[in-house]
Structure 1
């Protein structure tokens, strides 16, 4: 078992960063397997690649979670569902 007491970390925080690292690693593997990623112009009207869309979805998810904490006292698990929908929306339309 890993001791995280050296810092004010919790398991959810550690899992969050592990997931971010995993997404970036998966994007690297995807880029290695299929170079280029076919840049496209979506609803934002500028060219984006897979990496750009991942960045936009992660940044937007952070703001969704911060807004969720400000607006409501409901569990962040509900915000995770909103973030997942946002992630899919970004990859489909941006």
Structure 2
């Protein structure tokens, strides 16, 4: 893996995504989910809400990086709250 310039934040990011996917897989095996309708305008499963949350969090980060000079921790905090909200009530 020496060909890639790994930094601690990027390694933690990918480890975090892997842990989220592992957790979601275990949760799906233990208790299969059913579609439900929350505040999102479509019926979703846990996996749908995870995908929507991760995708929208990426756009939050891109917006902050492209449009502001703020620390990356600001969009991280906003994205964390957002993805938890989507997973719980989406």
The TM-score normalised by the length of structure 2 is 0.89
Partner Cα separation in structure 2 for residue 82 and residue 74 of structure 1: 13
What are structure 2's unaligned runs of at least 5 residues?
none
- Indicate the structure with greater strand content: 1
State the shift of 1:70 in Å.
Answer: 1.2
Q: What residue number does 2:73 align with?
A: 77
Partner Cα separation in structure 2 for residue 56 and residue 39 of structure 1: 14
Q: Which has the higher contact order (CA 8 A, sep 6+)?
A: 2
Partner Cα separation in structure 1 for residue 48 and residue 4 of structure 2: 31
Partner Cα separation in structure 2 for residue 57 and residue 72 of structure 1: 22
Instruction: Say what the alpha-carbon RMSD is for the aligned residues.
Output: 1.4
Partner Cα separation in structure 2 for residue 28 and residue 80 of structure 1: 24
Does 1:27 find its partner at 2:24?
yes
Partner Cα separation in structure 2 for residue 85 and residue 44 of structure 1: 16
Partner Cα separation in structure 2 for residue 27 and residue 20 of structure 1: 11
Q: What residue number does 2:60 align with?
A: 64
The TM-score normalised by the length of structure 1 is 0.85
